């Protein structure tokens, strides 16, 4: 007698989804313990803080510096690091180092998260992810400690440096200062270190691996052409977002929040907010004092996010790049998208379009519910709501200052939005679709008038 093969109860994607939920619940339980806070914390706020940390968002309902003890801050930092690595990465690492074989299904799932993963052995990929993360975080932490030690005792400087280095590389935006990094608006070295860390964390591990492979010698056209199309597109869109965001912020806020600053400080503040708005959530200016046009521009940057295969949120730079190329080619009458001598396949274009549509629907529905749960004051209440929701979805963490005053229903809503934004709407759709029955029936085609 032979036993019939058993179907796997949980697909890799479902394991990832539920692993994040498990980590969030464990984090919420730990933050609820007496030693984690100075004055206690209610269950909704502990869940919100844990979700924000695991999803590397940075939205806060309590002051991380004042309301949490050192142990509470350590718990938050641990949740950020685990969230940054990704539960799936740790699951694969445990399976791999325990001697188990990584199934084809897991490799396919890894391929949907890390581009070109088929060319890299799983163990090698995991080792590189851990190596890059810990090395970059350690180097930036040591550099930050030098500058923090000029203002704080050595032990405090070391803690601030480690916390901000991990938070920046993981694109979390949590800070051990009550005013975030506003107190360092005139300290260019600290701002630049944080910016570099944010960009490196948001580029994605495959991009970092390629850059390391060519030893960062990409200044010539010949060197740039040796990179894969994915890496080149990621770098180009990232650079464009940073440059355009900096110029837009500088022009719009020149006579507003930037007015009291010197010329160099104005440029540094604009550069910093352009970089941090796409995924990190640190701030050196008062976000609540920004003009409506600036908030709208930041919403676009938060929606775009960072690059695939990394820690950043949003719909990703390559998605925006592919859609922009699709629109450009449609206007020119081209049937296919060709970039750097390579054509982009139809499946990639469809996935990008689907991701953007699902994301817009998610944001629209969430903003509608957000306003239904809380009646925000002011003429720009819809913009404030859209900003808060997009910040949660893009796992950014910027806020106009309304987060601590939100109702419990809106806090739970933002928890769901952060969770969806961290794992990606397309990932959730794949999880649902994996349960759907497939059929080989094909129906006759038809045409519908559009436009």
Q: What is the predicted pLDDT for the residue at 254?
A: 93
Give me the chain's average pLDDT, please: 83
How are beta strands 342-344 and 337-339 bridged, if at all? antiparallel
Segment 91-119 mean pLDDT:
53
**Residue indicated by tokens 């929701």:** 389
Structure-block tokens of residue 60: 């806060």
| pLDDT tens readout for residues 216-231 | 554 555 666 777 888 8
Residue 109 included in any domain = no
Nearest partner of 245 among 216, 225, 224, 270, judged by Cα: 270
| pLDDT tens readout for residues 376-407 | 766 578 898 999 999 999 989 899 888 888 99
Non-local (6+) Cβ contacts of 148 within 8 A are 156, 157, 158, 160, 161, 190
Backbone dihedral angles phi then psi of residue 20, each to the nearest 5 degrees: -65, -40
Residues counted in the chain: 451
Residue 7 included in any domain = no
Handedness of CA 22, 24, 26, 28 (dihedral sign): negative
**Residue indicated by tokens 């919100």:** 48
Q: What is the predicted pLDDT for the residue at 90?
A: 57
Nearest partner of 242 among 206, 212, 202, 214, judged by Cα: 202
Residue 239 clears pLDDT 80, i.e. is over it: yes
Residue 70 included in any domain = yes
Q: What is the predicted pLDDT for the residue at 313?
A: 81
- Choose between 340 and 30: higher pLDDT: 30
Residue 3 included in any domain = no
- Choose between 95 and 213: higher pLDDT: 213
Residue 5 included in any domain = no
Structure-block tokens of residue 45: 């706020």
The pLDDT confidence band at residue 9, using thresholds 50, 70 and 90, is: very low
Region for 437 from its dihedrals, namely left if φ exceeds 0, alpha if ψ lies in -120 to 50, beta otherwise: beta
pTM tops 0.95, yes or no: no
- Choose between 83 and 443: higher pLDDT: 83
Residue 3 clears pLDDT 70, i.e. is over it: no
Instruction: Give, as one character, the DSSP assignment of residue 37.
Output: B
- Choose between 334 and 245: higher pLDDT: 245
Residue 21 included in any domain = yes
- Choose between 26 and 343: higher pLDDT: 26
CA pair distance 379, 100, nearest whole angstrom: 58
Pick from 84-88, 236-240, 284-288: least confident: 84-88
How many structural domains are present in the chain? 1
How many of the other CB atoms lie within 10 Å of CB of 229? Answer: 15
Structure-block tokens of residue 159: 């803690």
- Choose between 291 and 116: higher pLDDT: 291
Structure-block tokens of residue 19: 């692993």
Q: What is the predicted pLDDT for the residue at 392?
A: 93
Range of the domain at 63: 12-104+115-430
Residue 437 included in any domain = no
| pLDDT tens readout for residues 108-167 | 555 555 545 455 566 677 777 888 888 999 999 999 999 999 999 999 999 999 999 999
Q: What is the dihedral of CA 57, 62, 63, 69, to 10 degrees?
A: -100
DSSP-assigned letters across all residues of 252-269: HTTTTTTTTS-HHHHHHH
Residue 50 included in any domain = yes
């Amino acid at each position: 007698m032979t036993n019939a093969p058993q179907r796997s109860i949980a697909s890799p994607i479902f394991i990832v989804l539920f692993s994040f939920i498990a980590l969030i619940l464990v984090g919420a339980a730990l933050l609820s313990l007496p030693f984690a806070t100075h004055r206690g914390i209610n269950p909704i706020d502990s869940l919100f803080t844990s979700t924000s940390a695991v999803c590397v968002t940075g939205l806060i309902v309590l002051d991380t510096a004042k309301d949490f003890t050192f142990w509470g801050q350590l718990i938050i930092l641990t949740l950020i690091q685990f969230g940054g690595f990704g539960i799936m990465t740790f699951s694969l690492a445990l399976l791999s180092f325990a001697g188990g074989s990584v199934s084809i299904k897991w490799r396919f799932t890894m391929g949907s998260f890390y581009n070109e993963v088929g060319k890299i052995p799983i163990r090698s990929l995991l080792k590189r992810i851990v190596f890059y993360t810990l090395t970059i975080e350690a180097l930036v932490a040591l550099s930050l400690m030098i500058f923090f030690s000029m203002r704080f005792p050595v032990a405090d400087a070391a803690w601030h440096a480690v916390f901000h280095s991990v938070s920046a590389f993981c694109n979390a935006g949590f800070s051990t200062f009550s005013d975030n990094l506003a107190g360092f608006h005139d300290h260019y070295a600290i701002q630049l270190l944080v910016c570099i860390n944010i960009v490196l964390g948001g580029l994605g591990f495959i991009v970092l691996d390629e850059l390391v492979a060519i030893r960062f010698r990409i200044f010539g056209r010949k060197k740039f052409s040796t990179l894969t199309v994915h890496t080149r597109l990621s770098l180009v869109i990232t650079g464009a977002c940073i440059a355009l965001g900096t110029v837009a912020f500088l022009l719009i806020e020149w006579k507003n929040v930037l007015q009291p600053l010197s010329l160099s400080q104005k440029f540094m503040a604009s550069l910093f907010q352009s970089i941090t708005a796409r995924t990190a959530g640190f701030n050196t200016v008062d976000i609540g004092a920004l003009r409506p046009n600036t908030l709208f521009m930041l919403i676009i940057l938060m929606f775009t996010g960072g690059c695939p295969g990394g820690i950043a949120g949003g719909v990703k730079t390559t998605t925006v790049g592919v859609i922009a190329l699709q629109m450009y080619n449609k206007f020119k009458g081209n049937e296919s998208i060709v970039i750097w001598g390579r054509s982009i396949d139809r499946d990639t274009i469809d996935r990008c379009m689907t991701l953007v549509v699902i994301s817009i629907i998610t944001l629209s529905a969430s903003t509608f519910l957000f306003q239904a749960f809380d009646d925000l004051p002011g003429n720009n209440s819809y913009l404030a709501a859209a900003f808060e929701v997009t910040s949660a979805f893009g796992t950014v963490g910027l806020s106009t200052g309304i987060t601590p005053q939100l109702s419990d229903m809106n806090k739970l809503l933002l928890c769901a939005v952060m969770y969806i934004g961290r794992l990606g709407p397309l990932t959730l759709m794949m999880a649902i679709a994996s349960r759907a029955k497939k059929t080989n029936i094909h129906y006759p085609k038809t045409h519908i008038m559009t436009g």
